[in-house]
């Protein structure tokens, strides 16, 4: 059986000065030292790293980042410099997810404006639906996945809220503690609770809208977990949220917060305990009045048909499939001239915002 190791080389001028720092202060262990009579090279390991400290090496000192949940690590220091010049940064292992305050704005993003598609993780193509990110409060992406097997790995996201809504085609995904392969079709959606492990397997003609809060969040690869996991735990919670696989064709339409429209609830409001709500709205007959919402974030994506979005002090926008908009709280708007087949995906945070009919 073959064995392979990797080392990071760091320079030093005096190895004897470095060993107490790395071993006693940072907790590395000494694995090798050479030669015994006048050491020039030492190899140490710890915290997932293997370091080769070599006298006279040509590299710049570099920086080591150590993530820990021990507040007393290295005497509580957050920044250190080793005798060999290497900078050591000490940070939290699992820092809390912080969502910046929303910078409210009226935003309209139209597919016809040719917003660029950018190649992202696992070969997926991303189109940004909110370029301002509302000050970092959220990201909304229109994503296309190439047909066939997806070169994905088991991973998870450090987020406050994340939605995957399928608007075309289908995609197969595995989720931690949620049984075998799950397939979503157009009209279906997943809520991915913070930290749930998952893996995209295969797709055909798929397009999804992905919402993430906050806009900048970390994706981590889990090299240890194998999916599917052996236990089915539909009631499990991650940070107070449950996994949701909502089937669009099973939805029941009821009156919407805007008169003249009706909507089906994807059950995400209940599963997130009010963090967010996700609704699919369509015309129900009769004109829609001017309204104002009094929530925080209200994002809408046009999935089918078309309509005119009117806003106080704004020119009307005629919207078509692929267009998206954000309405800030307190701004009067009206959904007018909807086609009979229009379908809107509405995501609100917090869920079910109070709506004032004008």
CB contact at 8 A, 44 and 23: yes
Structure tokens given for 266: 């994807």
Q: Which residue, 26, 16, 96, 27, is CA-closest to 53?
A: 16
CB contact at 8 A, 147 and 84: no
Q: Distance between CA atoms of 153 and 269, rounded to whole angstroms? A: 29
The pLDDT tens digits for 13-34 are 999 999 999 999 999 999 999 9
Chain mean pLDDT for the chain: 93
| Last-in-domain residue among 183, 213, 245 | 245
Q: Distance between CA atoms of 71 and 91, rounded to whole angstroms? A: 9
Is 19 a domain residue? yes
Mean local confidence (pLDDT), 64-90: 94
Q: Distance between CA atoms of 305 and 291, rounded to whole angstroms? A: 21
Q: Are residues 207 and 134 in the same domain?
A: yes
Is 63 a domain residue? yes
Q: Is residue 122 predicted with pLDDT exceeding 70?
A: no
CATH code: domain of residue 306: 2.60.120.10
Tokens 């296309």 belong to residue:
144
Q: Which residue, 182, 186, 185, 164, is CA-closest to 173?
A: 182
Burial of 272 (0-12, 13-18, 19+ CB in 10 A): buried
Per-state percent for the chain, helix, strand, coil, to nearest 5: 10, 45, 45
Q: Are residues 289 and 342 in the same domain?
A: yes
Is 285 a domain residue? yes
CB contact at 8 A, 281 and 261: yes
Domain residues for the domain of 78 are: 8-92
pTM (predicted TM-score):
0.86
CATH code: domain of residue 33: 3.10.180.10
- CA distances for 203 relative to 187, 246, 248, 286, 311, angstroms: 15, 18, 18, 39, 38
Q: Are residues 221 and 165 in the same domain?
A: yes
The pLDDT tens digits for 300-355 are 999 999 999 999 999 999 999 999 999 999 999 999 999 999 999 999 999 999 99
């Amino acid at each position: 059986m073959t064995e392979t190791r990797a080392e990071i080389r760091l320079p030093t001028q005096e190895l004897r000065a470095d060993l107490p720092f790395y071993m006693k202060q940072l907790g590395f262990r000494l694995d090798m030292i050479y030669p015994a009579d006048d050491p020039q090279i030492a190899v140490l390991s710890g915290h997932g790293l293997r370091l080769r400290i070599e006298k006279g090496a040509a590299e710049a000192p570099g920086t080591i980042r150590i993530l820990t949940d021990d507040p007393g690590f290295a005497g509580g220091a957050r920044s250190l410099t080793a005798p060999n010049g290497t900078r050591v940064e000490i940070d939290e292992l699992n820092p809390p997810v912080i969502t910046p305050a929303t910078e409210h704005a009226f935003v309209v993003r139209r597919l016809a404006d040719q917003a660029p598609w950018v190649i992202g993780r696992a070969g997926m193509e991303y189109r940004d639906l909110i370029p301002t990110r509302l000050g970092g409060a959220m990201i909304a992406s229109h994503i296309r996945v190439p047909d066939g097997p997806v070169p994905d790995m088991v991973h998870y996201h450090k987020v406050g809220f994340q939605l995957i809504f399928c608007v075309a085609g289908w995609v197969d995904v595995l989720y931690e503690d949620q049984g075998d392969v799950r397939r979503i079709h157009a009209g279906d959606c997943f809520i991915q609770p913070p930290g749930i492990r998952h893996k995209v397997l295969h797709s055909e003609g798929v397009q999804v809208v992905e919402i993430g809060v906050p806009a900048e969040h970390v994706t981590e690869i889990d090299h240890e977990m194998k999916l599917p996991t052996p236990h089915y735990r539909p009631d499990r919670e991650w940070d107070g949220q449950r996994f949701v696989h909502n089937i669009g064709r099973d939805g029941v339409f009821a009156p919407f917060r805007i008169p003249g429209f009706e909507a089906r609830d994807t059950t995400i409001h209940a599963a997130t305990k009010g963090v967010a709500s996700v609704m699919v709205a369509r015309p129900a007959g009769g004109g829609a009045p001017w309204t104002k919402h009094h929530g925080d974030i209200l994002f809408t994506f046009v999935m089918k048909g078309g309509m005119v979005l009117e806003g106080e002090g704004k020119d009307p926008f005629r919207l078509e499939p692929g267009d998206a908009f954000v309405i800030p709280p307190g701004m009067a708007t009206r959904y007018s001239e909807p086609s009979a087949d229009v379908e809107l995906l509405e995501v609100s945070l917090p869920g079910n915002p109070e709506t004032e009919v004008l």
